[in-house]
Structures are given as structure tokens and as C-alpha cells.
A and B are shown apart, each in its own frame.
Chain A
Amino acid sequence: MFSILSALAQRIDLLKQVRRGNTGDVIYKVLAYLFGLALLGIVVAIIWELWVQSAFARQEFGISFLWSTSFDPVQAQFGALQFIQGTLVTAVVAVSLAAPLGIGIAAFLVEIAPRRVNAVVGFLVEMLAAIPSVVYGLWGIFVLAPFLRDYVAPWLTATLGWTPMFSGSFSGYSVFTASLVLTIMILPTAAAITRNVLQAVPKEQREGMLALGATRWEMFSQAVLPYAKGGVIGAMALALGRAAGETMAVTIIIGNARRIFTSMFEQGATIASVIAGNFTDADSGAYVSSLFLLGLILFAMTFTINVLARLLIKATSSGPTG
């Protein structure tokens, strides 16, 4: 903190300017710095608040909170593992489905579609991101879940039912449904950023390949994609971060079972969903504090993912990164 302040004092060089008579500019500069620092302050305040509010749980359960699976309000025993599992599984499944889809869409927009089509379709895909999470939740449980139950789940049970991943019967509320809705929700993020990254690939990269007589696919898979690899991975990491923090749709759909699950057809819970579903009725200090600690874990997870994603994207593309 001190170093920031001293750096601030150096830069502003208040006295010099006041002597020159630019009082307005001094105020302007101070205000601008204050509001810039406010962004920093808010993030620090969020971390600080989560840290303080979770103090009780941190002292009570220690680091083992991370791998404990008990969530028993009666005994006041709390753990995070099942929620970390739910968060990671839904997010990773969603990203592994959204990644090929997103790359395919981005490839269509950049390599195949004429500019007009690119603009319109690109806008429509981004519209998917505009639809509020809670609307996805409503749609997911009343439309997608019955659809999956009638058409997709029987087929999955017949072909993959012997694996633990798709064992048991599908009831609608499940990790599977939540993962699919997440896929659709993060698809625009994955597609739009990949598009930006692909667009930043220099023309020469493509022209060289085409000049060698390569087909469009060969050009894309051997010249464009390898060049943009880091940025594409960054885009997926960003999508992963979004999926991990997504709350409302998941809360409505996942079935809110606070246990470790073995099958995608089972119910589960994510960190975000358990906070949304249980925060207002947490009835003991340990419970409330544990939810704050879960919030801190979620924050740490998404923050780390985001930082890594930004670094990857920054390294490969200088374009705007939504």
C-alpha cells in the first residue's frame, strides 16, 4: 500500500502544478487517480471482507475444509470438497463441449463467412450471452430437462449406462442438465474471444499456406490454429471462469444435493449454488462463516483462472478481449 501511495505522490507532483496555477487540473488529476484506485480498492475490499467474515470457519475447520465432504448443519460440520467437485465438473464439462463448438463457430465467422454474414451471425451468437442467467434456468428446467429426459437420457443410458458416469436414472434435475445449460451460456464467450484471436492472426500466415496449395482446413488447422493456440486456450480459460461463477441457472437446475456425486445423472451443488440457495437460511455462525469461506474459495478459483486467461490472451492477441 505504501509503495502505491509514494508512487502516487511522485506522479502527481501536486505542489509544482499548484504553483503553476492549474488548480483545476490538480483536482482533475487527484479525482481521476482516486477513481482509478477505487477499482483496486473495491477488489481489495471484497477479498478483505470475505477473509474477515470467513475467519470463524477458517479457524474451526482449517485447511481440511478443502477436502472435507461433510455438510451437516445439525453437527455444525462443514466442508467444501463436494462443492469444489460440482463447480469443477460442471465447468470443465461445459468448456470441453463449448470449446469445439466455439472454435467451430469462430472458424466459420473468420474463415468461411462473408463479412456481412460474419457481422450478423457474430451479433446473434453474442446475443446468447445477453440472455439473463435466470431465464436460462427457467428454460433449462421446463424445456431442456424434459427434452433430455425423453430423447437424450434414454440413449445415453443405453450406450453409456454401464459407465459410472451415466449410471442411474435421469430425473431432470441433474449435474448433466446443469452442464449443458452452462455450455450454451459460455458458448458466446468462447466463440467471440476465439474469433478476436483468430482475426489477429496475420494474413501472411494464411496466404503462405494457401500458396502452397493447402485446402482451407489445412490452412486453418496447420497455420492459423497453432499460431493462435495460446489465445484460444485463454478464451477457453475465460469461459471456464464464467462457468465456475455462474449461479442462477445452475441453482435452479442442478438439484441442490450437497454430496459428492459419481454419475452425471445425479444431483449435485456448486459453490455458487450452495451460497445462493443457503445463505439466507444459514442459522449458525459456523454455517454463515463457512459460506463466506466457500465464497472466498470461489473467488480465488475464478480469479486465478481469469488472471491466467488474460495473460494467455494478452500474449497472443492485442485485440479487444471482451
Chain B
Amino acid sequence: MASNQLTKASGGFQRRKVVDRVMTGIAYAFTAFALVALVWVIAYVMSRGIQVWSLSFFTETTALFGDGGGIYNAMIGTAWIVLLAVLIGVPVGVMAGIYLADFGDNRLGDFIRFTADTMAGIPSIVVGLFIYALLILIMGWNAFAGACALAILMLPVIARTTEGIIRLVPGEIREASLALGLPQWKTMFRVVLPTAAAGIITGVFLAVARAAGETAPLIFTMLGSNFTNTNPLEGAMSAVSLYVYQASSSPYEAVQNAAWGAALVLLIFVLTLNFIARAIALRQKA
């Protein structure tokens, strides 16, 4: 059928060539559009954000009125939730990945794998609702609940990355270890996982990058605070992303400026993690 169309189209070789050129041009243009959007967003955030960066911006606490403030407490908050989310999400995610790789070649495994993939598509706001109903009504506002929500968002990414990496580990390594009489679990934790570590770390970095920028599930778990709260189990806490959201709807110019400064912190953090993950992945390949 294709050749049939081709003969029809070959009526004018010149015209076909022009169409080809135009289409190639469009592909270039679309790619340029994406790059322009990327540069536009990043450059704008940088130019606005850098203006409010000063020592006091990183040592003062947030304020949503008047002359604005810093983001010290928000950074503490982000550090806490990212740390806790990693502590919860990584072990669970890696173990789930091990399950999928080692015991997942059956119908149950397929089903769980499919669940993990679709789980990655659950809107973060829905996870927020879930955690609110599960934890906040009992514990009150706290950062731990926010971290739980982030951990749930990280799980499928980490699980699927781990599975993929473990499957890439050459069978001979595993067989050699088993032949030496090491039990399956020791083979996994002493031999396979260390080999796969770089790949898993890449997945973790990407998951952390995504989690650090998440805001929706924090609105009704952490609430936000203008004070420094260092106890993740009790009381409202701020986070950088949450502060950007709250400050984005402020009429106070100084607060709007602080929002750009905070957005820049978030952006640099997230992009750096992405670059590191990329670098690890590249070095692994090489």
C-alpha cells in the first residue's frame, strides 16, 4: 500500500522534496519551541530569583506580609520531608523492586508491575487527600504525613527502576555467587544490589527531585508555618515549594520577590539532582 501511495506522490519530485523540507523545518521549529520554553522559564526564574538572594534570605524565616522574609524554615522543612520520604520510600521501593525482579515473573508479578506503572499516574493531590484522611485527622498537622505522601509518589519510580537495574545485572554474577553456596538473599544484598547500586541511586535522585518540587499533597498535611519547626512529627511546617505557592498569590511586592527567590532555590536543587542522576547514568554506561 505504501508503495502505491509513493507512486502517486512521485508525480512531482520537486514538490515531494519541498514537502520534505517543510516537514523537516517544522520538526526543527517544534524542537526549538520546547527549548525556548525551557530557557524562558529557567532564565526568568534566575533573573528574578537572584535579585533577592542574600545572606539574610537564607537565614531569616518566611513571611507572607509586608517586607517578605527569608526561607530558612522552609528549607529545613524541605530537608525534613525529603529525608523522611527517602527513608520510607527507598527501602520499600527497593524491596518492591527486588520482588518484581526476583519473584515477579508470574501473573501476580505482572499485576503488581502494572499497578506500579499506573500508580505513577495517580495525581499527587489525590495522594494528599488519602494521607489527610489517614493521618492528619489523627495526628494533626505534621511534616511526617507530608513525607508519607511524597514517599507514595516516589515508590513506583524507585520500584520500577530497581527492577530494571537488577534485571540488567549479568546472570553469571548471580550464578557464581549461588554456586559458592551463598543463599539467595545474601546473593541479592551482597552481590547483586552493590552491582546495581549506581542505577538505583540514579532512580532515587530522580524520585527525590520530583518529590522536592511537589506541593499539592503538602497543602493539607504540613499547612505551612512562618516559624522554624524542627519536629517532623508534630506541628505545621513550611517547605520551599509550599512557600512558593503561598507567596505566588500575594499582593505584596516583597513577598512576590521572595517567591521568585524560593523558586530559584527549588529549581537549582531539582535541576542539580537531575544532572547528577544523568552523570551517574552516563558513567555507568561508559
Asked if chains A and B are in direct contact (CB within 8 A), the reply is yes
Residues in A lying within 8 Å of B, measured CB to CB: 4, 7-8, 11, 22, 24-25, 27-29, 31-40, 42-43, 45-46, 49-50, 53, 100-101, 104-105, 107-109, 111-112, 121, 123-125, 127-128, 130-139, 141-143, 184, 187-188, 191, 209, 212-218, 220-223, 238, 241-242, 244-248, 252, 272, 275-276, 279-280, 291-292, 295, 298-299, 302-303, 305-307, 310, 320-321
Q: Which of B41, B103, B134, B219 has the most CB of A within 10 A?
A: B41
- List residues of B (214-270) whose CB comes within 8 Å of A's CBs: 214-216, 219-220, 223, 241, 244-245, 248-249, 256, 259-260, 263, 266-267, 270
In angstroms, Cα B274 to Cα A128, docked, is 11
B42 neighbours in A (Cβ, 8 Å) = 131
How many residue pairs link A and B with beta carbons under 8 A? The number is 276
Are B245 and A299 interface neighbours, CB within 8 A?
Answer: no
B215 neighbours in A (Cβ, 8 Å) = 132-134, 247-248
Residue of B nearest to A3 (CB): B108
A127 neighbours in B (Cβ, 8 Å) = 38, 271, 274
Are B127 and A104 interface neighbours, CB within 8 A?
Answer: no
Residue of A nearest to B123 (CB): A245
B104 neighbours in A (Cβ, 8 Å) = 36
Q: Mark B16-37, 1 if CB is under 8 A from A, else 0.
A: 1101100110111111011101
Return A172 CB to nearest CB of chain B, in Å: 13
Are B17 and A101 interface neighbours, CB within 8 A?
Answer: no
B5 neighbours in A (Cβ, 8 Å) = 222
Are A295 and B129 interface neighbours, CB within 8 A?
Answer: yes
- List residues of B (104-132) whose CB comes within 8 Å of A's CBs: 104, 106-109, 111-112, 114-119, 121-127, 129-130, 132
Q: Which of B34, B40, B115, B117 has the most CB of A within 10 A?
A: B34
Are A38 and B92 interface neighbours, CB within 8 A?
Answer: yes
Return B177 CB to nearest CB of chain A, in Å: 13
In angstroms, Cα B115 to Cα A7, docked, is 18
Q: List 12 A-B contacts (CB under 8 A).
A: A25-B184, A36-B95, A36-B109, A39-B159, A50-B130, A101-B34, A104-B29, A121-B31, A131-B42, A135-B266, A291-B129, A303-B121
Determine which of B95, B106, B119, B260 lies in contact with A31 in the assembled complex, contact meaning CB atoms within 8 Å: B95
Return B25 CB to nearest CB of chain A, in Å: 10
In angstroms, Cα B17 to Cα A272, docked, is 47
A111 neighbours in B (Cβ, 8 Å) = 27
Question: If A127-B38, A127-B274, A128-B38 touch, does A213 touch B121 (CB 8 Å cutoff)?
Answer: no
Determine which of A50, A104, A109, A136 lies in contact with B129 in the assembled complex, contact meaning CB atoms within 8 Å: A50
Are A212 and B3 interface neighbours, CB within 8 A?
Answer: yes
Residue of A nearest to B39 (CB): A124
Return A201 CB to nearest CB of chain B, in Å: 14
Are B125 and A272 interface neighbours, CB within 8 A?
Answer: yes
In angstroms, Cα B256 to Cα A187, docked, is 28
Q: Which of B16, B29, B107, B108 has the most CB of A within 10 A?
A: B108
A7 neighbours in B (Cβ, 8 Å) = 107-108
- List residues of B (138-178) whose CB comes within 8 Å of A's CBs: 152, 155-156, 159, 164
B278 neighbours in A (Cβ, 8 Å) = 123
Return B90 CB to nearest CB of chain A, in Å: 12
Residue B65 at the A interface, CB < 8 A? no
Are B220 and A25 interface neighbours, CB within 8 A?
Answer: no
B37 neighbours in A (Cβ, 8 Å) = 128, 184, 187
Residue B67 at the A interface, CB < 8 A? no
Residue B209 at the A interface, CB < 8 A? yes
In angstroms, Cα B267 to Cα A124, docked, is 14
In angstroms, Cα B117 to Cα A48, docked, is 19
Residue of A nearest to B120 (CB): A306
Are A246 and B123 interface neighbours, CB within 8 A?
Answer: yes
Determine which of A39, A123, A138, A244 lies in contact with B244 in the assembled complex, contact meaning CB atoms within 8 Å: A138
B108 neighbours in A (Cβ, 8 Å) = 4, 7-8, 11
Determine which of A28, A50, A302 lies in contact with B184 in the assembled complex, contact meaning CB atoms within 8 Å: A28
Q: Which of A8, A184, A276, A298 has the most CB of B within 10 A?
A: A276
Are B95 and A218 interface neighbours, CB within 8 A?
Answer: no
A104 neighbours in B (Cβ, 8 Å) = 26-27, 29-31
A8 neighbours in B (Cβ, 8 Å) = 108
A213 neighbours in B (Cβ, 8 Å) = 6, 10
Are A134 and B213 interface neighbours, CB within 8 A?
Answer: yes
Are A310 and B103 interface neighbours, CB within 8 A?
Answer: no
B274 neighbours in A (Cβ, 8 Å) = 127, 130
Are B271 and A32 interface neighbours, CB within 8 A?
Answer: no
Return B37 CB to nearest CB of chain A, in Å: 5
Are B2 and A141 interface neighbours, CB within 8 A?
Answer: no
